[in-house]
Amino acid sequence: MASLELQRQIEDFYAAYVETLDDGDLEKWPDFFVEDAIYKVIPRENYARNLPLATMRYESRNMLRDRVVTIQKTILHAPRYMRHMLSNIRIHRDEGGVLDVRANYLVLQTLVEQPTTVFSTGRYLDTVVRDGNGFLFKQRLVVFDSELVPNSLIYPL
């Protein structure tokens, strides 16, 4: 069982990630990852069947930066707010400075002149490494339950 202090630090790191996305500070999103990070958004059915296809598959911090630039400059999309809710943040393993952390998430979406709806829910399956006094994601797998993405997935989860 992780110490209370470590649990608190990890929860703070997770909250900061969510706050960055929900506040729309997209440029800062890649800074939560190591340079050769893996970030994938995966439909649960693919994950369950060991099928390798991901809805987003980025294999470096620079690919995450490319996503940010394309959201800002190339991808046509309706304006929207996203809001993340996190729960069940749990450190499953802590070995040699590498943590396996899992969490549940719920993301709500609000489109122009529309009521807020559930956009996605699922699990974060993460590998987190220590970085100075803080942490970085070495790998973040976002495995979503939703059988159908409500139209488009523009912003990262």
Q: For other proteins, give the closer residue by CB, 1 or 76.
A: 76
Q: For other proteins, give the closer residue by CB, 1 or 53.
A: 53
DSSP symbol at 153: -
Q: For other proteins, give the closer residue by CB, 4 or 148.
A: 148
Residue 74 C-beta: closest distance to other proteins, Å: 4
| CA-closest candidate to residue 143, choices 128, 126, 125, 156 | 125
Residue 89 C-beta: closest distance to other proteins, Å: 25
DSSP symbol at 155: S
Residue 121 C-beta: closest distance to other proteins, Å: 15
The per-residue b/e assignment along 73-105, b for 16 or more CB within 10 angstroms, e otherwise, is: eeeeeeeeebebeeeebebeebeeeebebbbeb
Residues that bind other proteins (CB under 8 A): 41, 43, 45-46, 51-60, 62-63, 65-66, 69-70, 73-78, 147-154
